[in-house]
Every structure is written in structure tokens, then in C-alpha cells.
């Protein structure tokens, strides 16, 4: 299945999320969606990124925008991470990489000279009609959530 393309409707997906939720893209129609993929719960960069989305969450809500984080971690790990950081949004567990592969965020990475396949920090902005309006790949955490919020504000 090809990755979603800009200005095209994103195919529906269903995924398990925190608080015993099941998220379906089609059920979010009428609202914008920020779907951010991150490598691992409770690591420094991922924690900071989540905190930044948390701190701007009320501004995203005022823009009729849902924020969802996605990683390969288990729901149990997500619940602990979400609770510890007081995230007001849910986290999607994607242990089999279905959603990660759909959005083509599994990429070769290098850590301490060792190559492995991992989640490339990426964010996707889907509008209220279900179309992919913007994507950010190889995200640098600092200022990213604010940049995404500015992009949301340009949607009509």
C-alpha cells in the first residue's frame, strides 16, 4: 500500500489507543488530525515532543484538531507514559508496524555505528475532510509542535 500523498484523502485505518480506545480515521472526519510518530516512550526527545504537544493542546483543540501520538510501544507502556506526562491526548500502539508502514516512517537508522530499522520521527496533518495537507519527516523536536500548530491555523 503506497504512503498517503499530499492533498489526497488518507485511507481509513483502525488502531488501538490508550484509555481502551479504538481510533478510526473515518470517525475523526469533521476535525483536523495531527498524527505524530515517535521512536520510543519515555526517551528524552520523545518526552519533550509529547510535552510540547501537551502544552499546546488547548490551542489545537480551539482549532478543532485532534492530536494522536504513535509508536511501536505497547499499550501498557503508553498508559504509563501518558499518565506520567499528563498528556491530554491518546497514544496509538503499533507493535506490528501497520500504521508506521502505511505512513512509511520505518527507516534505516544508525546508533553508535549500528544500523537498524526504526521509526523516523514524522508528523502528518490531515484536514477535516480526511486529506493529507502537510507532512514533516526527520523532525527536530525543538519548535516542532508550534510549527504544526501554525500549519493547522492555515487550514480552512
For the chain, domains (ranges, CATH) are 14-153 (3.40.30.10)
41-99 tens-digit pLDDT: 999 999 999 999 999 999 999 999 999 999 999 999 999 999 999 999 999 999 999 99
Known catalytic membership, residue 46: yes
Looking at residue 116, what is its pLDDT?
A: 76
Q: Which of 10, 15, 46, 148 is catalytic?
A: 46
Looking at residue 128, what is its pLDDT?
A: 96
117-147 tens-digit pLDDT: 889 999 999 999 999 999 999 999 999 999 9
Asked whether the beta carbons of 35 and 123 are under 8 A apart, the reply is yes
87-115 tens-digit pLDDT: 999 999 999 999 999 999 988 887 788 88
pLDDT range class, residue 1, cuts 50, 70, 90: low
pTM for the model stands at 0.94
Amino acid at each position: 500500500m503506497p504512503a498517503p500523498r499530499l492533498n489526497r484523502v488518507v485511507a481509513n485505518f483502525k488502531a488501538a489507543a490508550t484509555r481502551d480506545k479504538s481510533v478510526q480515521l473515518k470517525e475523526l472526519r469533521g476535525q483536523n488530525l495531527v498524527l505524530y510518530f515517535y521512536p520510543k516512550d519515555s526517551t528524552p526527545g520523545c518526552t519533550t515532543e509529547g510535552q510540547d504537544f501537551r502544552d499546546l493542546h488547548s490551542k489545537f483543540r480551539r482549532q478543532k484538531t485532534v492530536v494522536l501520538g504513535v509508536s511501536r510501544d505497547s499499550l501498557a507502556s503508553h498508559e504509563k507514559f501518558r499518565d506520567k506526562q499528563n498528556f491530554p491526548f491518546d497514544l496509538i500502539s503499533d507493535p506490528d508496524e501497520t500504521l508506521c508502514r502505511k505512513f512509511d516512517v520505518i527507516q534505516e537508522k544508525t546508533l553508535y555505528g549500528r544500523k537498524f530499522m526504526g521509526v523516523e520521527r514524522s508528523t502528518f496533518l490531515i484536514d477535516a475532510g480526511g486529506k493529507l495537507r502537510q507532512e514533516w519527516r526527520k523532525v527536530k523536536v525543538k519548535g516542532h509542535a508550534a510549527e504544526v500548530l501554525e500549519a493547522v491555523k492555515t487550514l480552512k
